[in-house]
Amino acid sequence: MPGVSTKQRTPTTVSPKARSSQVPAATDPSVIRNFCIIAHIDHGKSTLADRMLQLTGVVQARNMKAQYLDRMPIERDRGITIKSQAVRMPWELDGQTYAFHMIDTPGHVDFSYEVSRSLAACEGALLLVDAAQGIEAQTLANLYLAMEHDLKIIPVLNKIDLPSAQPEKYAEEIAYLIGCEPEDVLRVSGKTGDGVEELLDKIVAEIPAPEGDAEAPARAMIFDSVYDTYRGVVTFVRVVDGKLGHREKIKMMSTGATHELLEIGVSSPEPEATKGLGVGEVGYLITGVKDVRLSKVGDTVTSQNRPAAEIIGGYDDPSPMVFSGLFPLDGSDFPVLREALEKLQLNDAALNFEPETSTALGFGFRVGFLGLLHLEITRERLETEYNLDLISTAPNVVYEVTAEDGEIHRVTNPSEFPEGKVTEIREPIVDATVIVPAEFIGPVMELCQSRRGTMEGMDYLSAERVEIRYKMPLAEIVFDFFDQLKSRTKGYASLNWQGTGQQAADLVKVDILLQGDQVDAFSAITHRDSAYAYGVKMASRLKELIPRQQFEVPIQAAIGSRIIARENIRAIRKDVLSKCYGGDISRKRKLLEKQKEGKKRMKMVGTVEVPQEAFIAALSSDEDAGKEKAGKK
C-alpha cells in the first residue's frame, strides 16, 4: 500500500526559522495562526504533523517518534488517528515570530464529528491529498465541512517522493475542485520533509489572524475534553474574546457551574503552563473536576467576576447511528463492564449506553456508535484495557415504528419491536458518495442498487475518476457494504456517507423460534425481500451449532405467526436395548415404548439447551467466524 511508507521515521533537522517552544502566552492576535490538517484516511496527516514538530523545534530529535501526536495505544497499533490533537509551534518569517496552533484530525468517516469540532477552532485548513491516490470520498467530505466554516483552504499534495506519485495529474483535480490554479497546489513529502518549510511560510501568508475583542468579557469555546487519571478533566478551548488567567474563577455558561482555574496553558506538544490565554489562542484548562460532562463540548467558558452576555454557537451532539448489545461472557463481569464504559465515555463524547437484559445472554448494555469502526475500536479497548470477554450482538440502526393506535416507538433492538399490527416503519437514510475509477462504474452501481440505493447523480472528477452519489438505507451499508465495495473495485473505491433523515420502508421483524419459544438474541429487523434469506441462513447456522438433544428440536424463522423457514435437529438415539440379549420381543417393545413416553414428556416440559459458543458463533459476522476458524487451525 502507498500509505505504508509514511509510517517510517525520517531524520529531519530543526529549521533555522524555528524559535524556542516557549512562545509567550496571551500574544498579539496578529501573530497567531490557527489551522488544522484534513484529509482522507492514510493520506499522511500525522506524518506531516511529525515533520512540522521537528522543523519548528518543539520536539527534540532524541524524543521524536513516528505519529508523535497519536497517543492512544490503539492508534499506534492500527496506524490511524482517532482523537484530534492540538499543538502549539513557533515559526519565524521576516524577523517576526509567529505562534501556530495546529490540530491533527482523524480521517475516517466514523470520527468526522472530531473533525467538525476542530474546524470551529481554526481560521484555515490544509487540504492534504495523496499524490499517488488522488482525491478520495473523505477528502471531499472534509473539504465541504471546512467550506461550511468559511475557512481558508490551502491545497497540499503529500507523498511526492513515492515512485507512483502523479503530482501534475492530481494537482489539476484539486484545482478543478476548489477553483484555483494547479501551480497553487503545494507539493510536499511528510516522509522526507521536502516542501514543508515553504508550506509553513504559506500558512503565515495566507491563513488570516484570529479576530476578537481583547477588552470584552472573556469568552472561550470548548472544542474537546479528555479525562486524565491524575489531573481530572482537561478541557481544550479556543479563546474568542477577552482573556483567561491562572487561578481565575470561571463559569460554564450552559450549566452555570463555576470552577477555579488550577492550571492554564498550551500544548507544545507536551502541556506547558502559562499565565493566561488571550484572543485567538488555543490551550487547555484544568479545574480539578472529575466528571467530563461538566465540561461539555461546545459550551462557552467565561469569567465569573465579569461574565459575558452571549454564548458562542456550539455543536450539535453526535447522534449514534448504529446500536449493538455488549454482554460479558461471565455474568459477574457486568459491574466491570459498566465501569469500563463510564471511563471510556469520559474520552469519547459520542459513546452512549444504557442497561439491557436478554433472556439468552443475561445482563449487558445497549451501546450507540457512530459506525462499525467506532464499534470495533470501542470493543477492542474494552477487551484489552479492561480485560473483558464480550459478546456483541448484530449491529442495528434506529427505527421509528408507528403502531396501529398511532403511538410511535423508537426501536434500537428487535426485542423492542411493538406487538400487534404496525401501520408504518421508518428507517434512517444516508447520502453515500463513492469515488471510483471509471472502469468500475458498473459493479458499483449494481452493488448500490442491490442494497436498495437510489442514484442521485454522477460527476467525472477527471477522465479516469468518477464521483457517484446514492441515497441508501443506513442498515444496508453499516454491515459489510464497504467490504463488498472494495472487493468489486479491486480496492480502489472510497466511501463517505452522511445521515440525512428517515423514510418509510417495507420492513419486517424476523423471529427465530426453538421448540416454539422465541430467542430474542437472534431476532432481526430486515427488509421483506431479505427476510427469507435471513431466516434460512440463521436456521441452517443454528442447526450446525446447537448440539442434539434427547428429543427432536425444530428451528423456525417466523414473521409474526407465519413460518418462513425451518430446520430440524434430530434427537439423540440412545440404545436402550443394549442389555437385551435374545429373550422375548415383548420386553424390547416395552422398553422402546417407555423411552418414547419419556421423550414425549421431555418435549412438553423441557427447554432447548443452547451453549454459549453457539450464541457467539451465530451472532458473529461471517468474517469473524472465518478468523476464529483460522485461529483454531
Dist. CA 550–CA 383, nearest whole Å: 37
Does residue 409 have a known ligand-binding role?
Answer: no
Dist. CA 232–CA 524, nearest whole Å: 41
| Cell numbers representing residue 282 in the block | 488555543
CA distances in angstroms from 1 to 45, 136, 581, listed in the order given = 16, 15, 72
Sign of the CA dihedral 620, 622, 624, 628? positive
| Cell numbers representing residue 5 in the block | 511508507
Does residue 564 have a known ligand-binding role?
Answer: no
Does residue 47 have a known ligand-binding role?
Answer: yes
Under DSSP, is residue 287 helix (H, G, I), strand (E, B) or coil?
A: coil
CA distances in angstroms from 181 to 172, 259, 576, listed in the order given = 8, 50, 88
Does residue 160 have a known ligand-binding role?
Answer: yes
Does residue 45 have a known ligand-binding role?
Answer: yes
Does residue 103 have a known ligand-binding role?
Answer: no
Does residue 158 have a known ligand-binding role?
Answer: yes
Closest CA to 344 of 305, 297, 278, 292: 292
333 and 390 Cβ atoms separated by less than 8 Å: no
Under DSSP, is residue 168 helix (H, G, I), strand (E, B) or coil?
A: helix
125 and 37 Cβ atoms separated by less than 8 Å: yes
Q: Which residues fall within 8 angstroms of residue 128, CB to CB, at 6 or more apart?
A: 37, 38, 39, 43, 44, 45, 48, 156, 158
Residue given cell 446514492 in the structure block: 470
Does residue 561 have a known ligand-binding role?
Answer: no
Q: Within 13 Å, how many C-alpha atoms sit on residue 380's CB side?
A: 12
Residue given cell 438415539 in the structure block: 573
Is the link from the previous residue into 269 a cis peptide, with omega within 30 of 0?
yes
Q: Do the bridges between strand 124-130 and strand 32-39 make them parallel or antiparallel, or are there none, so unpaired?
A: parallel
Binding residues for GTP: 42-47, 158-161
Binding residues: 42-47, 158-161
